[in-house]
Amino acid sequence: RKEVEQDPGPFNVPEGATVAFNCTYSNSASQSFFWYRQDCRKEPKLLMSVYSSGNEDGRFTAQLNRASQYISLLIRDSKLSDSATYLCVVRTDSWGKLQFGAGTQVVVTP
Amino acid sequence: SAVISQKPSRDICQRGTSLTIQCQVDSQVTMMFWYRQQPGQSLTLIATANQGSEATYESGFVIDKFPISRPNLTFSTLTVSNMSPEDSSIYLCSVDQETQYFGPGTRLLVL
């Protein structure tokens, strides 16, 4: 079983709509959680960290459910520029090693 | 956030040859990480490079195939040795500053 699993999508989303997707992780001792965004042929870039109480950054809302070992990302009022692959990233130890999900592809259509 | 550059940005190489990828950071960092991202897949950690000590390799990666140098706190190199077409991938370096920041990647095609 992979340490971090994501629905690969693609999620085809009309512009202005809301899309949400989850990521599950297998290591219950995981310490930190992140969503990264990766555009085609570009490096991953941090979208947001995920805090235990849930957090928002503009149109993006991230939540953590430690009991069920998943994190989620919700995008409201989708823009065409939100089209990308969203990587779920989990830090499993204190010195920096990260586990990456394979990514969820989101395609926002006009 | 750290600013990271990589050279070369892309290369096409013949099998059996070696390529050295350079990673430069604009600030001093303790650890640098080298990842591989094969087409359509997510990132896989190759090794962690600490200044002044041997790199730590992940399962499935060995020093003979991917030698790493870390001569100072702002620079590292990864060599892909005796390349085969299976080594065609994007190679990314990253640094950890509360979270990880990535260089732009080196796109390698081995013929």
A2 touches chain B (CB under 8 A): no
CB B94 within 8 A of CB B32: yes
pLDDT in the model for residue A2: 80
Distance separating alpha carbons of residues A61 and A32, to the nearest angstrom: 16
**Cα A76 vs. chain centroid, distance in angstroms?**
14
Which residues 68-87 of A are in CB contact (within 8 Å) with B?
A: 87
Considering CB atoms only, which of B31, B41, B107 is closest to A96? B31
Reported as a single tens digit per residue, the pLDDT across B91-100 is: 999 998 877 8
Torsion of CA B4, A43, A100, B64, to 10 degrees: -60
pLDDT surpasses 80 at A1: no
Considering CB atoms only, which of A34, A43, A103 is closest to B105? A43
With CB atoms and an 8 Å threshold, state whether B42 touches A87.
Answer: yes
Distance separating alpha carbons of residues A42 and A65, to the nearest angstrom: 30
pLDDT confidence tier of residue A82, bands split at 50, 70 and 90: very high
With CB atoms and an 8 Å threshold, state whether A44 touches B102.
Answer: yes
How much is the mean pLDDT over chain B?
94
% of chain B at pLDDT higher than 70: 100
Distance separating alpha carbons of residues B56 and B41, to the nearest angstrom: 23
pLDDT surpasses 90 at A94: no
pLDDT confidence tier of residue B22, bands split at 50, 70 and 90: very high
A90 touches chain B (CB under 8 A): no
pLDDT confidence tier of residue A95, bands split at 50, 70 and 90: low
Please give the full DSSP string across chain A, using - where no structure is assigned.
--SEEE----EEEETT--EEEEEEES-TT--EEEEEEE-TTS--EEEEEE-TT-EEETTEEEEEETTTTEEEEEE-S--GGG-EEEEEEEE-STT--EEE---EEEEEE-
Reported as a single tens digit per residue, the pLDDT across A24-56 is: 999 998 989 999 999 988 999 999 999 888 899
With CB atoms and an 8 Å threshold, state whether A43 touches B102.
Answer: yes
The pair of structure tokens assigned to B74 is 């702002």
pLDDT surpasses 90 at B9: yes
